Amino acid sequence: MSPEIASIDFGPPTEVFVDAAVAERFARETGVELEGDRAPLAYPAVWLAEPRLRERIAQICAEADALPVHESQRFAYETALRQGARYRLAVAARREAKPSRLLLDATLSDSAGAVVGRVETVLRLVSRAELPKKGDA
């Protein structure tokens, strides 16, 4: 593996749940009309903000003295997410040096182990030293 790309441990898969009330609020705030028991396709954004993932991302940013800036996001599904359903979320992560990025590849599977979808998140790690300051040209 290139020294400019390093795998990062994000721990074992965790169980996640599509809370129907949260799905409804998420849909309302993103302008999505829900159909039946489907969840909004961007609903996994809620799971990416769960404390264990957030704390790990914050730790990586702190070590890099950087702020995370959301650079890109992708959702891909074999089947639609369902409200009230439980899934397993496995996160594989890697760090790129040039440019400085954290890439999260999450796989969602159902209780039988079948892959339901994948969620790819790219965070650009912007050095605090490079941030413009108020008054800069």
Partner 1 sequence: MSAAAALPEVGERLPPLEIGPFDAQALTRYAEVSGDDNPLHLDDALAQSIGFSAPPVHGMKLLAAFERLLASWRGDLFIASLGGTFVQPVLRGEKATLTGRVLRVSPEEGVFVRLYAHGPGRAPAIIADATLRPRPGNEGP
Where does this chain bind partner 1 (CB under 8 A)? 22, 25-26, 29-33, 35-36, 40-42, 45-46, 48-50, 54, 70-80, 120, 131-134, 136
Least distance to partner 1 from the beta carbon of 49, Å? 3
Alpha helices in 17-88 (DSSP H): 20-30, 44-48, 51-64
Nearer to partner 1, 9 or 130 (CB): 130
Please report which residue ranges of 40-130 form alpha helices under DSSP H. 44-48, 51-64
**What is the b/e burial string over 26-41, where b = at least 16 CB atoms within 10 angstroms of the residue's CB?**
bbeeeebeeeeebbbe
Residue 77 C-beta: closest distance to partner 1, Å: 6
What is the closest distance, in whole angstroms, from the C-beta atom of residue 117 to partner 1 in the complex?
9
CA distance 137 to 131: 12
| Residue closer to partner 1 (CB basis): 48 or 90 | 48
